[in-house]
Structure 1
Amino acid sequence: MGKIKRVSAYFLLSIAAVISIFPFMWIVVSATNRSADVSKGKLLPGGHLLDNMRNLAESINIGQSLWNSARISILTTIIALLIASIAGYGFEIYRSKAKDIIFNVLLLSMMIPFAAIMVPLYQIFAKFSGRLPLIGIDTVTSVILPTVTTAFLIFFFRQSSKMFPREMLEAGRMDGLSELGLFFRIFVPTMKTTYAAAAIITFMSSWNNYLWPLVVLQSPEKRTIPLLISNLGSSYSPDYGMIMAAIVISTLPTALVFFFMQKHFVAGMMGSVK
């Protein structure tokens, strides 16, 4: 009876795995076919991958868009991890009633959809346009600042900080470390799995961000990869094979980041909810 249950479980999991993998598999297969074959729903690999890649390289500057997305995603991830981890650490290690109230108000901000604050954000950055060189519409800073950290990320670090052994902090204080020294020399190395999980979440979210860059980035040379792919699909007669090739290229960075850090990601996610 136990063997039957095990076989049934593996069978259901295999079906779920196939369903989950199929969309990406279809994209990869479609990248090797012509546009007409993709429109017909052909599920067998073709021999037009190099043609699609050549057409993609000749029609658009995908390298510039990849660089734009990489620059924004890396900067957003680094700054977000620093700010959110300090905030989460402070909310948990130095607890008080006032800080708990502030944290609860911060959590309420998760209930506000980004579309509701998009227009005020645009007006704020529009006022800075032309006044400050790095802040304003159509700048990298305007994309990074509104998404540099979230209430979820602060909550994530605070929950992880609950399991941080306070004895290590006391030992550090006895050794003469400052509060910043305790954070950077004890907390950060100890919570590296939490940082890895948060880095994956933040990087993937920033890489796939579409709505806000669409609103705030106006120059074609500053477009991120999601904007570029969207522009390819909005033409009068889109080349679906070329679009699928662009999607495969745009997916590779996030897939590589996840696969290289998946062990730390699982450990970090499990540690945050214990």
Structure 2
Amino acid sequence: MKISKFKLALYGKYLFLIIISFLSIFPLFWMFVSATNASVDVLAGTLLPGVQLKENLTKLLANTNLLRALWNSFKYAAAATILSLFVSSLAGYGFEIYHDKGKDILMNILLLSMMVPFAVIMVPLYMMFGNANLLNSTAGFVLPTISTAFLIFLFRQSSRNFPREIIEAARLEGLTEFGIFFRMYIPVMKSTYAAAAVITFMNAWNNYLWPLIIMQKPEAQTMPLLISNLTSGYVIDYGVLMLAVAISVIPTILIFLALQKNFAEGIVGSAK
């Protein structure tokens, strides 16, 4: 029985997608498996779950302040996400709804700022926050990320799809500009907010360089710093290290899965 060229091409596409999916998910699978094995088994490349999960967790809790690091990471990431969404969406809304040539020039300058590496502004930022006594604080973590050119651009592009008729009708009804933003704009643009929330939360949760500089006290440590400290000894327990990494990625996975549908809609909407 002959197989048509169409079916052969279709089978080839499915095979390609299966291989790519396996390669994409394998590092995550290996990480969770390694979290249940001893260090020697991890180094040996064991791909089967082990029985060392409880022992690895006991060592992790004994040698680190895991709960404190988790709480710090969540507190900083949540604060950064909420403030960034508010400031960036308000800026993106203003850039598009009150559009003029001057705002286009300012937007281009903001986009050019994305090309400046963080390392260039790291030292001046540290000196500014040190003089302001904001080291080891939530404000010190959040303020540099409270508004980014990417998020402003994302909301600006999405605002182009916001119906102008709603704004005109709301103004005729006597609603203020802030009332339009909070009561009309935010509910309509919830998909864009979801996409921006996922991106901002993940970036804040996984941020390493800035917390390394500004969070100098052990009680202000975040999960990336805790994981980094586990690799700084003479002997690294890879089972404990993989368990810490697995615990660290769980919140970001849950956030993405919870907002996955709206995330895709928000990204597609901003690209139109």
Deviates more, 1:63-72 or 1:7-16: 7-16
Shift of 1:89: 0.4
Q: Which residue of 1 aligns with 2:239?
A: 241
Match of 1:50 among 54, 59, 77: 54
Q: Helix, strand or coil for the counterpart of 2:99?
A: coil
1:1-274 pair list within 5 angstroms: 1-129=5-133, 136-274=134-272
Q: How far does the alpha carbon of each residue in 1:172-218 deviate from its partner, in whole angstroms, 9 at most, with x for none?
A: 11111000011110000000000000000000000000000001110
Deviation at 1:118, TM superposition (A): 0.3
Letter in structure 2 aligned against 1:151: A
Unaligned runs of 5+ in 2: none
Q: Which runs of 5+ in 1 are unaligned?
A: 130-135
| Mapped partners of 1:26, 1:121: distance in 2 | 38
Deviations 1:204-258 (A, max 9, x none): 0000000000011100111000000000111111111011111111110000000
Q: What secondary structure, in the 3-state scheme, does the structure 1 residue paired with 2:84 have?
A: helix
Amino acid at match of 2:186: V
In the aligned structure 1, how far is the partner of 2:9 from the partner of 2:87?
A: 47
Distance 2:226 2:260 in 1: 28
Alpha-carbon separation, structure 2, partners of 1:238 and 1:161: 49
Structure 2 CA distance, aligned partners of 1:101 and 1:34? 57
Shift, 1:54, TM fit: 1.3
User: Distance between the aligned counterparts of 1:166 and 1:160, measured in 2?
Assistant: 13
Structure 2 counterpart of 1:73, which letter?
A
Residue identity matched to 2:61: A
Aligned partner of 1:148: which letter?
Answer: I
Q: How far apart are the structure 2 equivalents of 1:5 and 1:148?
A: 48
Deviations 1:152-177 (A, max 9, x none): 00000000001111011111111110
Question: 1:104: how far off?
Answer: 1.1
Tell me the matched-pair count. 268
Q: For 1:268, give the aligned amino acid.
A: G
Paired residue secondary structure (2:114): helix
Q: Which stretches of structure 1, 4 residues or longer, exceed 6 Å deviation after superposition? A: none
Greater mean alpha carbon deviation, residues 143-152 or residues 86-95: 143-152
TM-score w.r.t. structure 1 length?
0.96
> What is the deviation of 1:43?
1.4
Q: RMSD of aligned C-alpha atoms?
A: 0.8
